[in-house]
A and B are shown apart, each in its own frame.
Chain A
Amino acid sequence: MARRMRHTVETSAVDLFTLIEKKLSPANAKRETGSDRLLVLRVPQDQLIASLKLLTEEMGLKHLSTITGLDIGDSIELNYQFWHSDRIVDIKTSVSKTDPRIETCTPIIPGAVLYEMEVHDMFGVTFQGHPWMDRKLLLPDNYPKDLPPPLLKGTSSEKIRKAVGIEK
């Protein structure tokens, strides 16, 4: 059996990350934290779809691992996390909590269809243009309409348990 060492990639971590940063600089992308294996870029909400298109079509980042929602106080942060050989590229954008709406990325990345539904269920973000936004994926059908989505910091576990009838 041939001894297989660490998979070599043509561009070093720094090169790939600088390249992505350069590519997305017209979209006002700003590099945040990150290491040599994790790149975190923040893009404005209106530039998100254009940035994802650049990444998938020109940079060859085809595999979207997931979309992570985060409640950061006054807004909801969406993390589009890509896996490319030995790196993870995290594209961050924010949507307001009062009107959480953003365009869907499913025409560019069909594999994001369930990830967007999950964020819709858990954070109440509406992905405009997503065909299944009227359905639930993970939450029970009896989840009360007046109760905020479960993963927002303002929604306590006690409230959810009471609302769905697990606890009195």
Chain B
Amino acid sequence: MHDTFDKTVQDRKETSAGLMQYSAENLVPFGPIHPALKEPEYFKLILEGERIVDVIPRIGYVHRGLEKAAEQRPWIQNIYMFERTCGICSFAHSTAYVQAVEGLLLYKLPERAKFIRLVVAELERIHSHLLWIGLMGHWAGFETLFMWVWKDREIVLDIVEAIAGNRIHKSLATIEGVKRDIPEPLIPGFIERLKYITTRVHYYRNVVDTESTLLIRTEGIGKISADRLEQLCAVGPLVRAAGIPRDVRRDDPYAAYNDVPMDLVTKSGVDIHTLMQQRLDEVVVSVNMIIYALEHMPPGPVKLRVPPVVPKGENASHVEAPRGELFYFVKSNGGRMPERVKVRTPTLANLPSALEMLKGHTLADVPVVLTGIDPCFGCMDRLSFLDRDSQKLWRWSGEELRQYGIHHYFPERKK
């Protein structure tokens, strides 16, 4: 990445002249904000004709200053604030935070609470991965997949609601435990519904492997080598799809991951197609882990009573969120509020890789590749195009770009 940073747009224009049919260089501002989507980000795409030659990121449009706010709130209140960092992997955030605090407190977490944390974390992974598969279908022009997968995702959300009382912000993790127990009579129903999800996922796996609409849009798109991903410190399903067996659940087990069998899914090379296979296979593994955990849940309390102050010290903690390693660092001065809390989300770690994956592809591939790293990406609806030579400016909505992408690959379809 380094070598491309310092080259100016002007340099590129000179080197590219005459190579392409369209040598005019276009700057395409991508983003930043749309209220209906998850995380607004902004990318300046530098194009040569149709090809992307460079991408410049600008994030921070929803930077709400949580790290600063955490320094002015009690330890317990911060759990619920950090949970709201993300609208999808909320439980991963609260777990990572309470784990960092628990490391300073040195109590022994109740066994049953560990299992409940695992169950909810894996349910969250299933719902996040299914959501992503649906979005891939949407951006690739395969609306039916989107509708079907999101219908099946409702099953998981119903289970989460039965356990936590909420669909998304579970407010379940607390320091030294979880706030609610899983009622025993509900467990057989959960298992039955989870088994149904497995059958659905096997069906979708078949669709992903055989459906030509998807294959055209995903095979060979967004390639990046395992070495490059390692250099860029990428995390989560992205590195596992490249064949690097890196997973916090296996390497540095937390909650009950030490007691529940787990198959680590890896693939042999990244493109959008293998990323879809990777995530679908991880859903099956998660279902198996939840069923095992529900069947082997130890009895006992789910929470300890702890004082509201945390001893002086520093601790770092990480969990495997659906998108990859989520890192928390906590520093306490021995008071009622933290001295410092640091959050590093997986999307920030994967962003440099996504920028590399975009290079060399066409504008029509942008939605698919950017969705490929599952970036909580929310900026498709506000983009304008500037042709540098004619100074012509025009705007497309996200829907128009989607239609453009579909038309690029399937010209016979009506625009």
Which residues of A approach B to under 8 Å, CB–CB? Answer: 1-7, 33, 35, 37-38, 40, 62-66, 68-71, 79, 81, 83, 85-88, 90, 106-107, 109-115, 118, 121-122, 131-132, 135-140, 150-151, 157, 160
Contacts and interface: CB of A to CB of B under 8 A. Distances in A.
8 contacts: A4-B262, A7-B253, A37-B252, A65-B318, A110-B231, A111-B233, A136-B60, A137-B57
B332 to A, nearest CB: 12
Contacts of A83: 248, 252, 318, 325, 327
B327 A81 contact: yes
A106 B72 contact: no
Given A6-B258, A151-B67, A33 B314 contact: yes
Nearest to B349: A111
Given A1-B263, A111-B234, A139 B67 contact: no
Interface of B: 1-2, 5-6, 57-60, 63, 65, 67-69, 72, 103, 230-234, 246, 248, 250-253, 258, 261-264, 288, 313-316, 318, 325, 327, 329, 331, 340, 342, 344, 348-349, 351-352
A69 B12 CA distance: 36
A112 B68 CA distance: 22
Nearest to B63: A138
B314 A40 contact: yes
Contacts of B331: 70
B63 to A, nearest CB: 5
Contacts of A65: 233, 316, 318, 325, 327, 344, 349
Nearest to B72: A157
A136 B60 CA distance: 9
Contact of B60 (A64, A71, A140): A140
Nearest to B285: A1
A106 B3 CA distance: 11
B2 A90 contact: no
Label chain B's interface by main secondary structure.
mixed
A5 B348 CA distance: 30
Contacts of B59: 137-138
B250 to A, nearest CB: 5
A70 B340 contact: yes
A4 B261 contact: yes
Contacts of B313: 33
A90 B316 contact: yes
B2 A150 contact: no
A138 B252 CA distance: 30
B338 to A, nearest CB: 12
Contact of A157 (B63, B65, B340): B65
Contacts of A137: 57-60
Nearest to B106: A35
Contacts of A69: 342
A62 B230 contact: yes
B67 A157 contact: no
B252 A135 contact: no
B329 A68 contact: yes
Nearest to A6: B258
Contact of B263 (A2, A63, A135): A2
A6 B72 CA distance: 38
B252 to A, nearest CB: 4
Contacts of A7: 250-251, 253
Contact of A139 (B63, B264, B327): B63
B24 to A, nearest CB: 25
A63 B68 contact: no
Contacts of B252: 37, 83, 85-87
Contacts of A110: 1-2, 231-232, 352
Contacts of A86: 251-253
Given A38-B315, A40-B314, A160-B65, A66 B60 contact: no
A121 B258 CA distance: 39
B2 A68 contact: no
Most buried by B among A35, A64, A65: A65
B68 A151 contact: yes
Contact of B233 (A4, A64, A70, A136): A64
